[in-house]
Chains A and B, each alone.
Chain A
Amino acid sequence: MIEVEHLTKRFGATVAVNDVSFTVMPGEVVGFLGPNGAGKTTAMRVITGLILPQSGTARVNGHDIWESPLEVRRSLGYLPETTPLYEEMCVTDFLRFIASARGIPPKQAASKIDEMIEACSLQSMAHKDISELSRGYRQRVGLAQALIHDPPVLILDEPTSGLDPTQILEIRKLVRDLGKTKSILFSTHILDEASKTCDRILIISDGRLVGEGSPQDLIEMATGESAYSLELKGDADAFISELPETYKLAGRRSEGDRVLLELTSSVAADHSEELFDLAANTGCKLLRMNRKEASLEEVFLRLTKGGKA
């Protein structure tokens, strides 16, 4: 697991990460979402031990970044944003180097490398120089490198950037599969990706954590209300007068004998059943009812308002 406590990292006068705390449990995929320059990469680099924060701490599998940095690095796999790799090495040699630097005995290393090459579909590229690989294959080599020691914690910095849609789907599937047993923190600025891949989303803006929860939680948290549009036949005035006080009538329009109503409720929970019963009790026929949800895009924009998107 990853535990981050009150992490603050400044570069000169700019505060890249400002008092950020969160936890990633084993078997959980957490998406780190934010506009470019929000501090995602900095936070990840601190957890990896590549840079030291001004205050606060992070623990990876219980190992503190200040007290046992080598243990931290042993228990995590890290895919940096730009996927730096040794260009002049071939894929197999590169993975062999990583394996031996990570202290995997040579006998096990050979089978581990084969396993990684297969898991990341690198068979056809195994003996090519990394400089000859396309962006997608480089990304897979980066992933293979991060996974070779089977770490309990994975930190992936924008693993899908620059990939084509098929590759993106493959990586997402891989992340979800790995996420069944590992703690995964992965950053992205694509909302759709975060909501499809992650159990939980952390939204970071200008170095601060501005939202946390499942995609659904975040929507409710950001809007705090739910909206409905109804189409009734019958005595609409009776229906409106019977509405509880938490509702507000946002619009009313008649079309022949049908009435179209726009309602908002200050309570975020689902009131569809309540409205249905109310319509039946007041003798109205409910022809259509839509519960309108704020999209994750709206939530994101609202939460990161003021941040440079």
Chain B
Amino acid sequence: MKAMAAIYRKELKAYFDSPIAYIFIVVFLIVTSWLFFRTFFLVKISTMRGFFAMIPWMCLFFIPAVSMRLWAEERKTGTNELLMSLPVKESEVVLGKYLAAFTVYAITILLTLPLAIVVGIIGSPDWGVIAGSYVGALLMGAAILAIGTFISSLTTNQIVAFILSVLVVAALTVVGQPLVTLFLQGPLTVLVPYAEWLGMANHFLSISRGVLDSRDILYYLLLTALPLYLTVKSIQASKVG
């Protein structure tokens, strides 16, 4: 645990010592706030639904930007060799690094809380829905980050890691959207519920309605645990060579 904490601290410091974390946070806040307030005053309803509706799409591009360096950079510079010569289990290294990246994302999401305060001052929103949406955003981010972590562990190139992560997460998001499910006609209609279940954003939307369904939470936990497990395996596999 001590070693994991050391790796977590080091990784978090790496994010905040370089411009990555700041750029990420600032751009994320500017883009979301701008998109949110562009329509907020037109609709004249004190709700954050519009804000949370775009979170899955924001995450799609922003989270892979956080996760891309996690392992690809270590592999490129060879520092993973240094890391693996320390008396630390692979799982501890993976978790320590992952949690640091998750912290960056969580800080970003929590920094959008002033938006909720503004909405609260202007009107009287449903706080249950807003709280649920924040939980959902953290859960979904955790899953996307885990996928990005796994993909980052497969390559030595950060750009490749970024693009592949965006593609995989986009596929997982789009598969549950009407865009895809409408095309599942005839005998393929049996696949519709599965496609909808697989859809990354659907579970988030159901959570952000204020209903914390254990199935939705389980979906995200599964989608977090599996890629992290695969990351550990991919690092172990590289030892066999």
Chain A residues within 8 Å of B3, by CB:
100-103
Contact of B239 (CB < 8 Å), options: A52, A84, A97, A98:
A52
| Tally of chain B residues near chain A (CB < 8 A) | 25
Chain A residues within 8 Å of B89, by CB:
70
B241 part of interface (Cβ distance < 8 Å): yes
Chain B residues within 8 Å of A101, by CB:
3, 6-7, 10, 86, 88
* Beta-carbon contacts under 8 Å, B1-32 to A: 2-3, 5-7, 9-10, 13-14, 17-18
Closest to A9 in B: B241
Chain A residues within 8 Å of B111, by CB:
none
Closest to B3 in A: A101
Minimum CB–CB distance from B156 to chain A (whole Å) comes to: 13
The segment from A74-82, A202-210, A270-278 that touches chain B is A74-82
SS class of chain B's interface: helix, strand, loop or mixed?
helix
Q: Are B86 and A73 in contact (CB under 8 A)?
A: yes
| Tally of chain A residues near chain B (CB < 8 A) | 30
B114 part of interface (Cβ distance < 8 Å): no
Chain B residues within 8 Å of A9, by CB:
241
Contact of A145 (CB < 8 Å), options: B7, B82, B240:
B82
Closest to A54 in B: B240
Q: Are B81 and A84 in contact (CB under 8 A)?
A: yes
B79 part of interface (Cβ distance < 8 Å): yes
Per the bound structure, the CA–CA distance linking A100 and B17 in Å amounts to 19
Chain B residues within 8 Å of A82, by CB:
78
Chain A residues within 8 Å of B239, by CB:
49-52
- Footprint of B on A, CB under 8 Å? 9, 11, 45, 48-52, 70-71, 73-74, 76, 78, 80, 82, 84-89, 93, 97-98, 100-103, 145
B87 part of interface (Cβ distance < 8 Å): yes
Chain A residues within 8 Å of B124, by CB:
none
Chain A residues within 8 Å of B17, by CB:
88-89
Q: Are B79 and A86 in contact (CB under 8 A)?
A: yes
Beyond the given A80-B85, A84-B81, please list 9 additional residue pairs across the A-B interface where CB-CB is below 8 A. A51-B239, A51-B241, A82-B78, A86-B10, A86-B14, A89-B17, A103-B2, A103-B87, A145-B82
Known contacts: A97-B6, A101-B6, A101-B7. The answer to whether A80 contacts B86 by CB under 8 A is no
Minimum CB–CB distance from A16 to chain B (whole Å) comes to: 9
Per the bound structure, the CA–CA distance linking A52 and B104 in Å amounts to 35
Interface CB pairs A-B, < 8 A, 15 = A11-B241, A49-B85, A51-B241, A74-B87, A80-B81, A80-B82, A80-B85, A86-B10, A87-B77, A88-B14, A89-B13, A97-B10, A100-B3, A100-B6, A101-B10
Chain A residues within 8 Å of B87, by CB:
70-71, 73-74, 102-103
Q: Are A98 and B240 in contact (CB under 8 A)?
A: no
* Beta-carbon contacts under 8 Å, B133-173 to A: none
Chain B residues within 8 Å of A11, by CB:
241
B54 part of interface (Cβ distance < 8 Å): no
B35 part of interface (Cβ distance < 8 Å): no
